[in-house]
Structure 1
Amino acid sequence: MRKFKLSVFYTILIFSLSFANLTGELEFKPEKEIINKDEKVCFHLVNNSDKAVYLPSSAPWAVFEDEDFDKIVFSPIAAQRILEIKPYEEKKWCWDLKDFQGEIVPSGDYAIRLTVFKNGERVFLVSKIKVKPGVAETSKKEEE
């Protein structure tokens, strides 16, 4: 029985380590997950793999108001050229929290989706952020 338990333990350990390595190859995350309206948010793609990945444009990301990716809030205008992110390289973008009309987005939860091509297949990476009222907005409400 002891050998069986050890074998199950090692099997689970091996699968969890290989899964962790697989999911950690591409890292896409914001510098901060909670952002005030008077700030901007920057986010990074890190290629932790030993193979290059490709981006379909210079800014292959979009901001969505919902997790179903039905309501797009903003997507930057970008040059339509393939960009290579070599192994262990990083790419950074920033968003000023403005929508297509140039207005600051309302407070709430947003999803930033990045399009990457890995091994010839399109992959979507998602980071979530929360936009909170800015300092000026909070001070104004306290005065009222």
Structure 2
Amino acid sequence: MADYILEEKDSFTVLGFGTELESHYTDYAGITKEKADFWEAVKQDGRLDTLKEVAANDYIFAVNEAVNNKMMHYAGVITETTLPEATRIIQFPKGDYLVVKGEAKTAEELSNRLTGIAFGQVLPAATNFAYVGGPNTTVEMGQRNGLVFGEMWIPVVRK
């Protein structure tokens, strides 16, 4: 089984730039390409650097959220600052979170790997907790030994 824990987290807020994902939610290849294109754009046009300038720490958040029946994906940071050009302020509730840890060669690979483990292995097999919606995020925490490391945080309720 995957390396995961249940952890209580205080509420936190992520400020982000986002995009609507147009692919069907079961189209893994389509969603992966849309996310990759989005991340390339926010790196190239300076939006990610703008977020890093106001960040409270070095963590970079890749947030998934359903908003008004649309699948949204955001690049974000934890900050108390607001930016008029930012797409959304994303509120994460205080409570229990499924935390899946991992590392990969790139941030994109890390996000895809952790998402696959969380939604493809851990949650389907879970008997004492469940994901009931709300924003979830992959958190890029840093680099070591040439690899990007981080975690996936998914709010859950205990059964």
TM-score category (smaller protein): under 0.3
Higher strand proportion (structure 1 or 2)? 2
Larger radius of gyration: 1
More helix by share: 2
Q: Could you state the TM-score of these two structures normalised by the residue count of structure 2?
A: 0.25
TM-score, normalisation: structure 1? 0.27
